[in-house]
């Protein structure tokens, strides 16, 4: 198996045997949801893939003909929701039971992500920290910005650690006490490296922004506003430097990578379908005043750009499994027992590639959201992908509207300003003849692209 799991035989067998014994003594009246058959003690530990988990989960759900998949990893229950309606029934309609977050030992304790209110359990801390919003007031560099690079590096580790089953320490928390030098404890060494990046991501931009504020010439920001409230002596537990530092750090980490990923997806789709780019440019040229770039006031008049942004989110979901939920009490659904403490995953990728909702789901096609008669957005033709992209229930992404507006502006400006096409390359045929051909793109974006100026507003 390709997961980041190190075998510590004595600990695994001893603790696994205890968990297996305790679980086997229970005689529930209802069965658990279907799932792949696992091994004694460790369950499905060695079946959980190290990458593209959402695809494997969907394959299992399809094979077992179920919308609710159950996995068990050394005593930890994982419930995967493979269907939009099921996710709405549980995560929305029963949100009081499903608003918790699992305690991810690797991520929260060993890597230092406990600062991020998006991953904390539902309760007072979450409520206090969501009072504070947006960021630092720091202008990033056009290229190779150190803050962006830092967030990308820190987020890379978080993305790995946030997937249940990646690290054995999630099922056996006692392993967190194993020293990093111990044979088979490479997860501790990884955690130590990622912890340093996490703290830098939280501390460095905060210190820089605070220094700018103290210099007397700060840019407007939520950090500035709330530091002023702290200085004024506002009596509220939400207005402390620790909460403020953690909140802007969480916003920084959440927004640094997701919009860029969606933009990259959009570019890939436009490269494969130049006719879509041309159609969007024609709409922008007809609506936007010459010499100007599109702004949010133009959004209602540019439905095709909106459709492209929605399709970019649907086609290559930025976070295919979302952020895990935790079930706070035993529940029953469709004749199945859902045990308290289970980790609940909404398979957004499966929902966004459901052929019964999205015809030819693996094709980049924004026209699926457009009424051919009116030219306007029509979600009765294909469901708005926003829910599956941004989460469900009380833990839906609080920045989803800002995130979509940022994505929309980025896509609209890109389309208005540039023509984009695949690059050409010269190849030598077996006959010795040299010809030019269009480069085929791969999933790692290594082939490159060519950008031509379509329109440029005067400086």
> Residues annotated as binding site?
397
- Spatial distance between the Cα atoms of 427 and 432, rounded to a whole number of angstroms: 9
- Spatial distance between the Cα atoms of 424 and 448, rounded to a whole number of angstroms: 10
Question: Within the chain, how many helices (H) and strands (E) appear?
Answer: 14, 10
Could you tell me the two tokens for 137?
Answer: 């007031």
Q: Give 397's contacts (C-beta < 8 A, 6+ positions apart).
A: 254, 390, 391, 403
Q: Give 175's contacts (C-beta < 8 A, 6+ positions apart).
A: 8, 11, 168, 169, 185, 187
- Spatial distance between the Cα atoms of 45 and 57, rounded to a whole number of angstroms: 14
Answer whether residue 407 shows pLDDT above 60: yes
* Contact in structure between 322 and 393 (CB atoms under 8 Å): no
- Domains annotated for the chain, with CATH where assigned, are 9-425 (1.10.630.10)
Confidence at 120, pLDDT banded by 50, 70, 90: low
Q: Is 220 helix (H, G, I), strand (E, B) or coil?
A: coil
Quote the distance between the C-alpha of residue 208 and its chain's center: 27
* Contact in structure between 425 and 440 (CB atoms under 8 Å): no
- Spatial distance between the Cα atoms of 436 and 426, rounded to a whole number of angstroms: 4
Answer whether residue 3 shows pLDDT above 90: no
β-bridge partners, 453: 418
Could you tell me the two tokens for 327?
Answer: 């079930």
- Spatial distance between the Cα atoms of 335 and 381, rounded to a whole number of angstroms: 32
| Structure confidence at residue 130 (pLDDT) | 32
| Structure confidence at residue 1 (pLDDT) | 42
Could you tell me the two tokens for 394?
Answer: 């009380």
* Contact in structure between 218 and 137 (CB atoms under 8 Å): yes
Confidence at 403, pLDDT banded by 50, 70, 90: confident
pLDDT per residue as tens digits for the range 146-195: 766 777 777 777 777 777 767 777 777 888 888 888 888 888 888 888 88
pLDDT per residue as tens digits for the range 419-447: 888 877 666 677 767 666 565 655 444 44
**Percent of the chain, pLDDT > 90?**
35
Q: How does strand 450-453 pair with strand 418-421? A: antiparallel
Could you report how far apart the first and last alpha carbons of the chain are, in Å?
Answer: 55
Least trusted range by pLDDT, from 175-184, 235-244, 341-350, 383-392: 235-244
> Residues annotated as binding site for heme?
397
**What does each C-alpha distance from 42 to 16, 35, 75, 115, 228 come to in angstroms?**
7, 14, 7, 31, 53
Q: Please state, rounded to an integer, the average pLDDT across all residues of the chain.
A: 79
* Contact in structure between 304 and 371 (CB atoms under 8 Å): no
Least trusted range by pLDDT, from 138-142, 198-202, 269-273: 138-142
119: which DSSP letter? S
pLDDT per residue as tens digits for the range 90-114: 999 998 888 877 777 776 677 766 6
Q: Is 206 helix (H, G, I), strand (E, B) or coil?
A: helix
Least trusted range by pLDDT, from 28-42, 70-84, 221-235: 221-235
Residues comprising the chain, all counted: 459
Least trusted range by pLDDT, from 16-20, 38-42, 103-107, 235-239: 16-20
- Report the candidate in 26, 114, 23 with the shortest Cα–Cα distance to residue 77: 23
Confidence at 5, pLDDT banded by 50, 70, 90: very low
**Percent of the chain, pLDDT > 70?**
74
């Amino acid at each position: 198996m390709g997961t980041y799991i190190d075998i510590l035989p004595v600990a695994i067998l001893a603790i696994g045997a205890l968990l297996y014994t305790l679980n086997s003594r229970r005689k529930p009246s209802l069965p658990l949801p279907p799932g792949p058959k696992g091994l004694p003690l460790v369950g499905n530990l060695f079946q959980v893939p190290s990458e593209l988990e959402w695809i494997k989960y969907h394959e299992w759900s399809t094979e077992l003909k179920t919308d609710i998949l159950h996995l068990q990893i050394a005593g930890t229950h994982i419930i995967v929701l493979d269907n939009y309606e099921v996710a709405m029934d549980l995560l929305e309609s029963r949100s009081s039971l499903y608003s918790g977050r699992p305690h991810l030992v690797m991520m929260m304790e060993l890597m230092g992500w406990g600062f991020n209110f998006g991953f904390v359990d539902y309760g007072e801390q979450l409520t206090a920290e969501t009072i504070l919003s947006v960021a630092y007031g720091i202008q990033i560099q056009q290229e190779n910005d150190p803050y962006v690079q830092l967030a990308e590096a820190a987020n890379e580790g978080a993305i790995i650690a946030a997937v249940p089953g990646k690290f054995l320490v999630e099922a056996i928390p006692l392993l967190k006490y194993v020293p990093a030098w111990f044979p088979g404890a490479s997860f501790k060494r990884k955690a130590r490296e990622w912890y340093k990046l996490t703290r830098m991501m939280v501390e460095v931009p905060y210190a820089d922004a605070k220094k700018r504020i103290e210099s007397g010439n700060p840019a407007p920001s939520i950090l500035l506003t709330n530091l002023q409230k702290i200085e004024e002596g506002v009596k509220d537990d939400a207005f402390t430097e620790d909460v403020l530092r953690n909140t802007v750090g969480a916003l920084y980490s959440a927004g640094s990578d997701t919009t860029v990923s969606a933009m990259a997806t959009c570019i890939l789709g436009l490269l494969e379908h130049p006719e879509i780019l041309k159609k969007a440019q024609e709409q922008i040229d007809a609506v936007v005043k010459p010499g100007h770039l599109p702004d949010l006031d133009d959004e209602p008049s540019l439905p095709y750009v909106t459709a492209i942004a929605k399709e970019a989110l649907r086609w290559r979901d930025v976070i295919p499994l979302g952020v895990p939920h935790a079930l706070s009490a035993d529940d029953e659904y469709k004749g199945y027992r859902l045990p308290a403490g289970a980790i609940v995953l909404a398979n957004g990728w499966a929902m966004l590639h459901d052929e019964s909702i999205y015809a030819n789901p693996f094709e980049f096609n924004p026209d699926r959201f457009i009424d051919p008669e009116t030219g306007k957005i029509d979600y009765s033709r294909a469901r708005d992908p926003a829910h599956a992209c941004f989460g469900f229930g009380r833990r839906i992404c609080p920045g989803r509207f800002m995130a979509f507006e940022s994505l929309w502006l980025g896509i609209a400006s890109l389309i208005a300003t540039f023509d984009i096409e695949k690059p050409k390359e010269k190849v030598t045929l077996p006959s010795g003849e040299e010809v030019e051909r269009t480069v085929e793109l791969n999933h790692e974006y290594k082939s490159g692209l060519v950008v031509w100026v379509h329109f440029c507003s005067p400086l």
